[in-house]
Amino acid sequence: GKIEDFSTRITKSGKKMGTINVLDFHGNIEIAVFERELGNIEDIVKDEAKRDLPYAFRINISRDDQFVRTNLNEVYSLEDAQNLDFKTRKLKKNSKFSKNEEVSAPQKVREYAELEVLLSLSELSRQKLEQIYSLVFSKNAPNNQKRLILKIKNEATGEIFIYKTEFIVSDYVGEEIEKVAASA
């Protein structure tokens, strides 16, 4: 992300600390910066050439009853960050990191083949759509092989409406959907 804003203050114990506001593809995040990394951040903010560059941040996240706090551990240039192995962690209910839930980032998103089912708008009713939804919902499972895409054709206008669903189904579900749609 890019450092958008930086401010410093003195803590109750008399130590200097800072706060950076980082803008990335997902929005803004505010990160607390303590003495160990404060000098690095001040150098980046003071140098015009460094200020507009994007950086990678290794942070520590903690949560209590009301707040989620993010503290800066280290700052890396994007070139340096490419060679590092960043880990993502999930917060548990008791707000401690779980070592057994640790995974290496980024994870590859699974690609699915598509199962396209063409239905006629004139044959569909609300009841049939509810039956199709219940059927597909019960057959949805991540270990299946195909992402369901429903195509509904309006014979009067020749239009075809395409609904790309998030349901992951097997091949035979298409036949079951067509049976439900064809039933009286």
111-145: per-residue pLDDT in tens?
788 888 888 888 888 888 888 888 888 888 878 88
Q: Does residue 141 share a domain with residue 92? A: no
pLDDT tens figures, 59-113: 888 887 778 888 888 888 888 877 777 777 665 655 455 455 555 555 556 778 8
Are 91 and 151 contained in the same domain?
no
Q: Determine the average pLDDT of the residues in 39-62.
A: 86
Residue spans of beta strands (DSSP E) within the chain: 2-10, 16-24, 27-33, 55-63, 68-77, 87-88, 103-104, 113-120, 146-154, 159-169
Q: Rounded to whole angstroms, how far apart are CA atoms 60 and 16?
A: 19
Q: What is the pTM of this model?
A: 0.47
Choosing from 56, 83, 104, the residue where a domain stops is 104
Give the range of the structural domain holding residue 40, as residue numbers without chain letter. 2-104
Number of structural domains in the chain: 2
